[in-house]
Amino acid sequence: MQAEIKHIKEKYATSEDICDLKLEVQLLKSSSTSLNHSKKLEGNKQKVPDSCGGRSAEYSVAAAISAEDKAVRTVTHHTPERSGQASKSLHTDAGNKINNAFRETFSHVLQNENKTQNFGTNEWTVVKRKKKLAYNRFAGNRGVATIKPEAKFKAAQVCVPMYIYNVDKEVSEKDIMDYIQEKTGLLIKIEKMIMKIEKEYNSYKIFVPKHKESVLMNDEFWPEGISYRRFIDFKNKNKKDSDIRVNNI
């Protein structure tokens, strides 16, 4: 009797084994990316005695399996201990296939990392170009050739106005011109300003070459107490004489 029971157990599977088998089939269906959907196997129907009441239950296994996966997914029914080992092996095989698929995808990404990426169905292509700097077409260059002193062809000397004030009333215009010529060698043009309100000092407007402006706009150039700045033209519209210019502090 025991030998017959043992023989039956080895030949048939329990309901728990059937549930495990169904679960493994579902896992294999979801994890496999290379299933051949055109091939289908006919379902095998078998009657299995129930462990509780001896009742029979029908089950069918139908899956679309590729030829290379048949050997791995073929399951034989064993005793409960052996069926448990088979279930573990199926879990391991499914996990390995998922890992291999992930590794292949990740390696493919690394290989194509430096290539041009295409999105969708090759409709859009990301192209990286160096941004061009803004070009000023009105920017000009300056000549550097030296000419003789008697040459008539030369560049115009552009002068900028400066305003100096807090000058002693006893100082003349010639004194200021001599001071600037002694320090820079420049012969400048100077004009005395008419003050709207009489002050205790005089103020002057001087014209200096633009390339020498940085020399004169320096605290160490002027005597102590002399104030200077860029000239700001204030026209007195109330005066009839438009030539008279007033500059106040």
Neighbours of 226 (CB within 10 A): 17
Judge whether residue 136 has pLDDT over 50.
yes
Averaged pLDDT for residues 197-225: 92
CA-based max dimension of the chain: 143
86 has which bridge partners? Answer: none
| Residue 11 neighbours by CB under 8 Å, 6+ apart | 77
Distance of CA 244 to the CA centre of its chain: 59
pLDDT grade, residue 54 (50/70/90)? very low
Judge whether residue 156 has pLDDT over 60.
yes
| Residue 64 neighbours by CB under 8 Å, 6+ apart | 35, 36, 37, 38, 39, 40, 41
End-to-end, the C-alpha distance of the chain in Å comes to 127
Task: Evaluate whether 194 touches 245 at the Cβ level (below 8 Å).
Answer: yes
pLDDT grade, residue 231 (50/70/90)? very high
Judge whether residue 115 has pLDDT over 70.
no
Outline where DSSP puts E strands in 68-168.
118-119, 124-125, 159-167
Determine whether domain 159-246 maps to CATH 3.40.50.300. Answer: no
**pTM over 0.75, yes/no:** no
Eight-class DSSP state of 187: -
b/e per residue 34-72 (b: at least 16 CB within 10 A): eeeeeeeeeeeeeebeeeeeeeeeebeeebebeeebeee
202 has which bridge partners? Answer: 167
In the chain, CATH 3.30.70.330 covers 159-246
Of the candidate ranges 4-13, 165-174, 220-229, the one whose mean pLDDT is the lowest: 4-13
Question: Measured at the alpha carbon of residue 230, what is the angle toward residues 228 and 232, in degrees to the nearest 5?
Answer: 115
Question: Which pLDDT score, from 0 to 100, does residue 59 have?
Answer: 39
